[in-house]
Structure 1
């Protein structure tokens, strides 16, 4: 007889394990099925270990520039193996933390490959055994994987995905990064700071193309100044790897094609949802290009089947997955008779995005161009880091904060930042958007001094021509 639950979560990434915890908090008998590591890609091979790598690169950069702070650091060098070991240690610590949270919340953990066999039915294959599970509701949180180039699949030796790039056995001498989204730019920044000669190829006309055009332009200028080669409007037509490196045929924006050699290549051209062989087709779950179609609460077209995170429509961000997990768990609890929960559908326009390159990039809401395309009459404010006392004191005077408002109503439409610690600052504007604050609310707010957050105030003032320190 199958083990029976109120809820089974298939996948334990930042969406899956959070959904399981919230469901358990609400009194649901919950199980989670995981084929590899608790915490999923984000915790083990994505968000967290990459930030550990980037932190090491940041400290290394600061050590190399100690003289600017009146300090002396001689004989500075990087131990790549130790840097990677620290990153893996951070991931292991957090994996153990999720394991503890499962026990604390009395969530059954079933390790193995899960597959839906019928509504409310799931079989888990683990080595030589098979376990039948049943539940009133099932959340699919199987995530996604890196997309390969069709003509040059990753081999882990010379052609890497993000996963290979996190555990290198050698430092690339000349690195080609294909794709300039968050993953590509973060690895480009890491390896550049570690001493690799980095070239970034982006098919579109600017890097980090989902960001505001002013941010893209500033970042390209900054990365070029740091020594990177940035090729926009360009494409890689062929890759040929051998024992010594990779020959890449690159077509630049002027239409010319030339072959260049690199020691390694990182492919960062997007993701593919892990929705094959899960049994979704058998149940008739609707999908679009492999992504599971859901409503704002996470319901699919099949009763009792839900989906969250990277296997559902974007944006494909860990914090979006976690929020969807909480929403779906609460909606399931409500469906099972809990009258004290009141789930709300996710407003994707209020989801912030963060890129941890050097300098950092963060944003929420509409870019200036997107706001205008939507027919909004806008006014913008911009304030540079060089006008902020804390930024100057930190030696981090590179960057700016830009705000976009509706000219008629004062509604905050978007905020866009580049510079030190902006990934921490962006949440102030995110809360403002969620709370539907208007320009005057930000103007009347007192910001502490001396802080980087003062620039957020100045940017808003700038939209009215009232910025003080510039």
Structure 2
């Protein structure tokens, strides 16, 4: 029986990061991946390909408004197949990069499905049904998640799409219904709307982007509506009839609609089934997410869980950071690294980014959450149309909003919508991590003219000191 010091189940952002960090610390490491390509959903069918697709949409969007900048472009066209092809080439390049990192760090790669047998043993069944049994001192479950369906509406790879289908459609949809308005739904709405698809969105809750600050949600609702996207909140699908090449849908018993395709974007479920948890002491919550402590330990000795399979927030950067803290906690316990390297995650310091047009980014508490938790706070807000750089580049939609503790000056939350805010949020991320105050930000010098000046102006606004609004 083959033995390793670390066996990582899953090669997504959490899995491959855990494998590399363990190898860096001198451990004998193996990783098992059920798909042919490394990188998990994030690289192959999530974060990376969608960013490539959305970049194509952004370029097309900017070319169409070239006349604003005094540039005449005639007969602007797009080749949808080439847009898809480019996204797959990006994926292939980065997947090859991860394979190279595995070789560089001398990490053994197994392709197949893994099942825990208990007693530090894992059974791997490869694609030809050959079974390999492995024992490992430590086992890290980084099995990820998959798209959730809803009763009466199942993925069929034809009419009803998951994200993978939407990234490689068999035809370009002239009309599209998106069920769910979280990050995935909003990104696909932006992408397809930019290229001319008639997009309709249905959201069960009373506003789109229900996890975002209410002002961000309202702003995005208005922007999408102005682009021709039809949005139905407090709504659900009450009837669905699939035909040969389209679907007939009824929304909340009142609105009849015919669409080419439906994207179901209503969340995820963890890949915790069929991996042998029943052979261990590992516990899951009611939704199937593996229960861990602050160091990613499960109830089974020397078995850990990180990333989506271990619960919210289900974000790639949360998974990769959990990978580091998990491995370093183990290594510190075995005197491989100093104890001071051990740390835990403050979930309030995990940022969220949505790469729609315009982009959305946030960290910390929303205004509603701050009220609910009893904080005495102040709010600052700076609109993009007051930024010299935003006006110069014609990106005047959106704003930056901050929530500041009145008594301490602590940054409780920051919420942005607009151009390049997924990059700008990093300023507030570092600020929250080192617990800077509003006065620290106010006393900093920001370069002019930049979009990042809005970080400064929003905090100034919380003190009624904004200079440009």
Fold conserved between structures, TM > 0.5: yes
Residue 69 of structure 1, CA deviation: 1.1
Q: Which residue of 2 aligns with 1:45?
A: 45
* 1:37-436 → structure 2 map (5 Å cutoff): 37-126=37-126, 127-251=128-252, 257-288=254-285, 289-340=287-338, 342-436=341-435
Q: Which residue of 1 aligns with 2:20?
A: 21
Is the contact between residue 152 and residue 238 of structure 1 (CA under 8 Å) also seen in structure 2? no
Distance across 1 between alignment mates of 2:328 and 2:154? 40
Distance across 2 between alignment mates of 1:313 and 1:108? 27
Secondary structure of 1:259's match? strand
Q: Which residue of 2 aligns with 1:10?
A: 9
Distance across 1 between alignment mates of 2:214 and 2:255? 28
Secondary structure of 2:8's match? strand
Larger mean Cα displacement after TM superposition, 120-129 or 264-273:
120-129
- TM superposition score normalised by structure 2: 0.98
Residue 339 of structure 1, CA deviation: 4.0
Larger mean Cα displacement after TM superposition, 228-237 or 10-19:
228-237
Is the contact between residue 81 and residue 169 of structure 1 (CA under 8 Å) also seen in structure 2? no
Distance across 2 between alignment mates of 1:146 and 1:83? 24
Is the contact between residue 28 and residue 333 of structure 1 (CA under 8 Å) also seen in structure 2? no
Distance across 2 between alignment mates of 1:180 and 1:339? 44
Larger mean Cα displacement after TM superposition, 256-265 or 128-137:
256-265
Distance across 2 between alignment mates of 1:343 and 1:242? 56
Distance across 2 between alignment mates of 1:146 and 1:310? 12
Is the contact between residue 380 and residue 402 of structure 2 (CA under 8 Å) also seen in structure 1? yes
Residue 300 of structure 1, CA deviation: 0.5
Distance across 2 between alignment mates of 1:152 and 1:384? 40
Is the contact between residue 7 and residue 29 of structure 1 (CA under 8 Å) also seen in structure 2? yes
Is the contact between residue 328 and residue 337 of structure 2 (CA under 8 Å) also seen in structure 1? no
* Uncovered stretches (5+) of structure 2, i.e. residues with no partner: none
Is the contact between residue 405 and residue 412 of structure 1 (CA under 8 Å) also seen in structure 2? yes
Structure 1 moving runs of 4+ over 6 Å: none
Distance across 1 between alignment mates of 2:119 and 2:433? 36
Secondary structure of 1:287's match? coil
Distance across 2 between alignment mates of 1:336 and 1:5? 16
Q: CA RMSD in A?
A: 0.9
Distance across 1 between alignment mates of 2:13 and 2:318? 9
Distance across 2 between alignment mates of 1:8 and 1:468? 55
Residue 249 of structure 1, CA deviation: 1.6
- Deviation string, structure 1 residues 327-380 (Cα, Å, up to 9, x no partner): 111112123332425221111100000001111100000001100100001100
- TM superposition score normalised by structure 1: 0.98
Residue 27 of structure 1, CA deviation: 0.8
Distance across 2 between alignment mates of 1:124 and 1:373? 47
- Deviation string, structure 1 residues 391-421 (Cα, Å, up to 9, x no partner): 1111111110000001111110000000000
Secondary structure of 1:291's match? coil
Distance across 1 between alignment mates of 2:241 and 2:148? 18
Secondary structure of 1:172's match? coil
Distance across 2 between alignment mates of 1:313 and 1:51? 24
Larger mean Cα displacement after TM superposition, 342-351 or 235-244:
235-244
Is the contact between residue 159 and residue 241 of structure 1 (CA under 8 Å) also seen in structure 2? no
Residue 236 of structure 1, CA deviation: 1.1
Distance across 1 between alignment mates of 2:220 and 2:227? 10
Is the contact between residue 119 and residue 305 of structure 1 (CA under 8 Å) also seen in structure 2? no
Distance across 1 between alignment mates of 2:264 and 2:122? 34
Residue 258 of structure 1, CA deviation: 2.8
Distance across 2 between alignment mates of 1:297 and 1:214? 35
Distance across 1 between alignment mates of 2:317 and 2:119? 28
* Uncovered stretches (5+) of structure 1, i.e. residues with no partner: none
Is the contact between residue 202 and residue 235 of structure 1 (CA under 8 Å) also seen in structure 2? yes
Distance across 2 between alignment mates of 1:109 and 1:336? 25
Residue 302 of structure 1, CA deviation: 1.0
